[in-house]
A and B are shown apart, each in its own frame.
Chain A
Amino acid sequence: MTDWSPIFISMKTASLSILITFFVGLIVAWALVKMKNDTAKIILDGIFTLPLVLPPTVVGFFLLWIFGVRGPIGSFFIEFFAYKIAFSWPATVIAAVVMSFPLMYRSARGAFEQVDSNLLDAGRTLGMSEWNIFWKVSFANALPGILSGGILAYARGLGEFGATAMLAGNIAGQTRTLPMAVYSEVAAGNMGEAFNYVIVIVFIAFIVIFIMDYVTLRKEKQWRHD
């Protein structure tokens, strides 16, 4: 009998992490676009992009170093909330957020930078508030790029393996996500079980990408072509 808990854990992890990644990524991207100091911009961009370039296990190593029982944040949580982050379910979310963040942030930033700055100035001279300009002009026109960043980030979060293994481990029913389950089953020689998981993950991935692509394409078509 296949244990379906990895599917629920993965869905929960991927959904919560994309929620966090999406909004934080959006805010960070916007802040960096607005930033005037070029040196700070380059340094911050480097830090935010690093998880994309580093091997996942190296990111996991850093995360363990920060969130582990002796790490600054990990020890803080143990002391004040008596909560151990490492090897708990939230750890899978942390790993997924950190690993998927660069994709969201970079896509959103690129999309914001593509928006003609005259549009923002036009909004200002027409009396629009900065809040309205952000949502109705910057965000709305960057939306296709932002959504495709979201798709990539979601897919990355769903498939996260290396950093998750390092920080959250592979505890059945708790931190065993789909990719973990596939690995565990194969390692145990249960190819049939692994295949079930593979089918599910391919199906979910395809559905998500199809839905988001469809939305993006439709929106884009509406204003870009006749």
Chain B
Amino acid sequence: MSNKMLKVNIQKELKEFDLDVDFELKKGRLGILGPSGCGKSMTLKSIAGIVNPDSGVISLTADDETVYFDSNKKINLKPQKRNVGYLFQNYALFPNMTVEENIGIGVEKENREKTVPEMIRRFHLEGLEKRYPRQLSGGQQQRVALARIMAYGPDVILLDEPFSAMDTFLKEQLRLELLNSLKGFKGFSIMVTHDRDEAFQFCDELIVLDNGKIIAKGETYEVFENPKKVQVARLTGCKNISKVEIIDDHHVRSLDWGLEFEVSKEITPNITHIGIRAHDFAFCQQDDVNVINTINSTIIEMPFEWEITLANGLWWKYDKQIHEHEFKIPKYLKVDPKNIILLEE
């Protein structure tokens, strides 16, 4: 495990922008988070060899190095030779083949008899061997697609927004299933998503991509806690972001909300915005620090939280029980100075 590495450094000219991605993966699961059309899928497809980058290097080091792509050395390994599993958004199961045949397609003939039943068991597909993909539920289809990839025995698994077209209930269940299925997998996996919950749940490391460029890179927790950039904060789910004017080392004035805030961290001159997560407000007295008046707020009831929009546009989310239906908005709210996220454009 220690000397394994996946190196990706690719450039490609696209219609809307240029893709320029450079990262190294040494262990486990990587997430690529970004809005739709930011080049995430293109990156994944380049690794699989379905799409060719204009220039760069893609290589996998397991015991020895396999170069998938190198524009300088004119190396471009066919997808068939890369040993990369790709989980497509629509699973891409072959509709003309049964579950068994789908799983066995990537396995050498002489090993099929052994491998296929093993995968059927491992992915709980017993009894469905002779069914066609159309006769399966979404969850079963995903398991067949994963079984097909695992049967092939790839070094890298690429997951292309596997839950984007699903309702919430199915999504949560399948996320868990996917996570469990991938637990035993010793290679690398990369998941592309625009959903911060998915990224948070699935990935050890995270890359945030916007317009083809990497705007944040690091441990998932770290990226979420300290997004540093406005766009990263937005993608990691920070609801309140405002342009600011710096007053001194620990005070800023928000231009969007018309408020002044005290900040624990030292404010450097490159800071242009602040962010406040919707859950980071607390009840307080009028004379506290960073106090916000809640006059003229609107409130929306959700099953497990109240969503309150303050008159100045700030979002506040407050957890509740399912049977609670009344909530009296406090007169004043505060934000702890250490909960204010400093951001740059």
Mark A residues whose CB is within 8 Å of B.
116, 118-119, 121-129, 136-137, 140-141, 143, 222-226
Q: Interface 1/0s, chain B 43-56, versus A by CB < 8 A?
A: 00100111000000
Residues of B in contact, count (CB < 8 Å): 30
Mark B residues whose CB is within 8 Å of A.
45, 48-50, 78-86, 88-90, 92, 94-97, 105-106, 132-135, 148-149, 152
How far apart are the CA atoms of A225 and B134 in the complex, in Å?
Answer: 7
Chain A, interface SS category = helix
Give every chain B residue within 8 A of A122 (Cβ-Cβ): 86, 88, 92, 94
Q: Are B134 and A124 in contact, with the CB atoms below 8 A?
A: no
Contact A125/B86 with A225-B134, A226-B135 known, Cβ cut-off 8 Å: yes
Supply 15 further A-B pairs (C-beta < 8 A) apart from A124-B49, A136-B97.
Answer: A116-B92, A118-B92, A121-B48, A121-B92, A122-B88, A125-B49, A125-B50, A125-B86, A127-B152, A129-B80, A136-B96, A140-B94, A141-B94, A223-B134, A226-B134
Set A116, A121, A128, A140: member contacting B86, Cβ < 8 A: A121
Enumerate 25 A-B pairs (CB-CB under 8 Å) in ascending A order: A116-B92, A119-B94, A121-B79, A121-B88, A122-B86, A123-B94, A124-B49, A124-B78, A125-B49, A125-B79, A125-B86, A126-B105, A126-B149, A127-B80, A127-B81, A127-B83, A127-B152, A128-B105, A128-B106, A136-B94, A136-B97, A222-B132, A223-B96, A225-B134, A226-B134
How far apart are the CA atoms of A68 and B149 in the complex, in Å?
Answer: 58
Set B48, B81, B82, B90: member contacting A116, Cβ < 8 A: B90
How far apart are the CA atoms of A135 and B110 in the complex, in Å?
Answer: 21
How far apart are the CA atoms of A142 and B90 in the complex, in Å?
Answer: 19
Give every chain B residue within 8 A of A128 (Cβ-Cβ): 80, 105-106
Give every chain B residue within 8 A of A121 (Cβ-Cβ): 45, 48, 50, 79, 86, 88, 92
Q: Are A224 and B134 in contact, with the CB atoms below 8 A?
A: yes
